[in-house]
Amino acid sequence: MTLSVRQGLLAVFLLSLSLSLSATEKTVVGDWMVQTSPNSIEASTSASGTSFGLYCQGDQCMFYLHDSLRCQPGSKSPILMSGVGSAAALNMRCAQINGVLFQILEPFNTTLEVVKRGGVVSFAVPLQSGSFGVTRFSLLGGAEAIRKALYEAGRSKNNPTPIVPPTNVAPIPKQVVPGSRRLQDIMI
């Protein structure tokens, strides 16, 4: 093999390695993590096997709870949210996104305001047994993580990278996902 062919092969190998390593970037912000991939951006925190966060794909973003409980896609249920100096009744809508079940929190702006205040947020979810499941999440770094995720989502929307999704993963449909907000409608 000639030197130039070896250099070419080495360059191709290094390029493919750097692309695979940069496929998902993770940044820790306080108790939150921001994950940026070519197809989505997520800012989340977790506690006791449950996660809470913001998920953006395309120009749609939504707040969600994700836990081990199974929900029926399309079903809707009430939930109570309590944050520093506030409490609210929300709706949770079950949606399957990329093969994963998420409980999308509505209304979006109510959840955003609690995250921006900081402190701790608690969710009380009614269970079939008649009791409530309560989960608490730290909001330390939450507002900054959400800001970063929205910035990255806006940046990727303006500079789209054509990515072919894997055959076993369904992308978010082009219609608006209930409970989500378009990037241009979010005021942080």
Q: Which domains does the chain have, with CATH numbers?
A: 24-165+177-181 (2.60.40.1880)
| CA pair distance 149, 139, nearest whole angstrom | 15
* DSSP letter, residue 67: -
Residue 16 pLDDT greater than 50, yes or no: no
Q: How deeply is 78 buried, as exposed, middle or buried, from its count of CB atoms within 10 A (0-12, 13-18, 19+)?
A: exposed
Given this model, what pLDDT does residue 104 score?
A: 94
Q: Are 83 and 114 in contact (CB under 8 A)?
A: yes
Buried b (16+ CB within 10 A) or exposed e, 140-150: bbbbebbebbb
| CA pair distance 68, 84, nearest whole angstrom | 26
On average, the pLDDT of the chain sits at 79
Given this model, what pLDDT does residue 110 score?
A: 94
Strand boundaries in 98-180, DSSP class E: 100-106, 120-126, 132-138
| CA pair distance 119, 142, nearest whole angstrom | 9
Given this model, what pLDDT does residue 184 score?
A: 65
The length of the chain in residues reads 188
Torsion of CA 143, 114, 56, 40, to 10 degrees: 50
Let me know the angle formed at the C-alpha of 134 by 129 and 138, rounded to the nearest 5 degrees. 165
Q: What pLDDT, in 10s, does the model give residues 59-73?
A: 889 999 988 777 889
Given this model, what pLDDT does residue 66 score?
A: 87
| Residue scoring higher pLDDT (175 or 25) | 25
Strand boundaries in 7-114, DSSP class E: 25-29, 32-36, 41-47, 50-57, 60-66, 76-83, 86-97, 100-106
Q: What pLDDT, in 10s, does the model give residues 138-185?
A: 999 999 999 999 998 888 766 654 444 444 444 444 445 666 777 667
Given this model, what pLDDT does residue 187 score?
A: 66
Instruction: Tell me which residue of 40, 24, 38 sits closest to 150, measured CA to CA.
Output: 40
